[in-house]
Amino acid sequence: MPASLLAFPLANLHTHSYAIIDIGSNSVRMVVYHAPARVPVPLFNEKYYCGLGKGVAKSGFLNPEGIVEAKKAIGRFIVMAKRLAVSDLKIIATAAVRDARNGAHFVRDIETSMDVEIDIISGEREAELAAKGALASMYKPVGITADMGGGSIELAYISRDHIEKQSSFELGTLRLVDDTNNNAGAMHDLIHREISNVHWLESVKAKTIYAIGGSFRSIAKMHMKKTHYPLPILHEYRLSRKAIESMMRTLKSLSTEEIAQLPGVPEERAITILPAVLMLHQIMHCAHADHVVFSVTGIREGLIYDQLPPDLQKQDPLIASAYDLASLAGRKGAYAKELFDWMKPLFEQELPSHQRLRMALCVLSELAWTVDPNFRSEWAFLRVVQSAMKGMTHRERVMLAMALYHRYQTKWKLDRPEIKLLDEHDRLWARCVGTATSLAFHLSGGKHGNLHHARLAVDGTFISLSLDDEADPLRTETVEKKLEGLGSTFKALSNFVI
């Protein structure tokens, strides 16, 4: 290879990378994050189904076959962590290891042979970290977190930025299957007996359950496939209590083999789906919860969040992840705040939820600057819709994506199924804020310090643009068309009756 081709090395995204190996009852996983940040982005994410906790409830010992597979997986992950030159590696073990008679011996064997340290976390600590995992990726969540693994389930009540109550029970999916010989009726009775005794579930009056863990996520996947949901992103997918009840009735009538054939159900998870849906239904029943929100973040992200200073913990996850995404595209600086303030006259009465989205749009406004102009609008839409950004609902995600599309294209020309999640008002808002962002670019070039030469004013539903003498030559036919398009959209938005 010519030396000239090696003269421009790729940017090193691993400078402050942080790796966590999670030894669970069902699987062993390693995730390497780009940094211990407010919203850490996975650079490497791999898991192996080892079934370490299979049979622990009956025998009291870790599954011998699972031990072999787990050691192989951990050995691979340690080597991979070294090759990725991670800054810090943390290894944790949960229910199966802490409950098994030979759990401590299993840990010592790995620590000695692989020269690492493993932290066997308690049930209470696991509940705390799972709850913090939800706090890390959702905006001011209020409700009950439920983290169900193979060996245990951890519950906690969270309110915006703190944890008020927490409990841990040896009622994981594999343990329930072992204790009841996979009998649905016996499983239901056991879950009902134990969860009904958690008296704080009812007293906190939570409307939302935040479901964490692979078996819960499989429920979401299955429902997405069944209903042909247009946005296959698990994080913040929402289901009603009625939907959970319907799924429970269906699954109770099927064998494990039949469940494995359902769309969206991984073969390895088939035996854990029924105990998971029975558990979720019981928690919702006891808490009188209306709906469940699924989370892809849990104890691993909670562990990172736990180590952040208070000022970073208080950051809005949506805005933090927007800044990270913009930074990866090489767009940094103060233009976002300037743009946000510049278009404020158009949105004096906006809701706080829309204000957050508008700020995120301002941060991302020049995200597609390296893309060919013919593809920028579609690329921008897909970049947001398919991103790992956190802190927004599915509806908000599509609104933000559509707004960024209109930063580059006035007319909507795509045929995308995700748009079904928006109503007409959502679409008008996205077009209005996106068109305003486009107008701002034509007046500033996307550079901080240029928008103070131009000023927007609103009189009823009429928008005017004034430029100072220095900026007056910027008033071209293109700018006037942008202003006209913004004006018509703003008028439609202002006159919209919700």
What is the structure's pLDDT at 253?
94
Nearest-angstrom CA–CA distance, 264 and 149 = 19
Instruction: Count other Cβ atoms within 10 Å, centred on residue 228.
Output: 8
Nearest-angstrom CA–CA distance, 316 and 328 = 19
| Identity at 461, one-letter amino acid code | T
Report the chain's C-alpha Rg in angstroms. Answer: 25
pLDDT in tens, 109-161: 999 999 999 999 999 999 999 999 999 999 999 999 999 999 999 999 999 88
Whole-prediction pTM: 0.93
In the block, tokens 């609902």 appear at 393
pLDDT in tens, 348-380: 989 999 999 999 999 999 999 999 999 999 999
In the block, tokens 């909507």 appear at 412
489's CB contacts (< 8 A; 6+ apart) are 428, 431, 432, 435
| Sign of the four-CA dihedral 417, 418, 423, 425 | negative
Q: How confident is the model at residue 189 (pLDDT cuts 50, 70, 90)?
A: very high
Nearest-angstrom CA–CA distance, 220 and 208 = 15
Nearest-angstrom CA–CA distance, 141 and 302 = 14
Percent of the chain with pLDDT over 90: 91
Q: How confident is the model at residue 15 (pLDDT cuts 50, 70, 90)?
A: low
CA dihedral of 412, 416, 422, 423, whole degrees rounded to 10: 60
Quote the tokens at residue 65.
């076959």
**pLDDT, mean over the chain:** 94
What is the structure's pLDDT at 266?
86
| Sign of the four-CA dihedral 37, 42, 46, 52 | positive
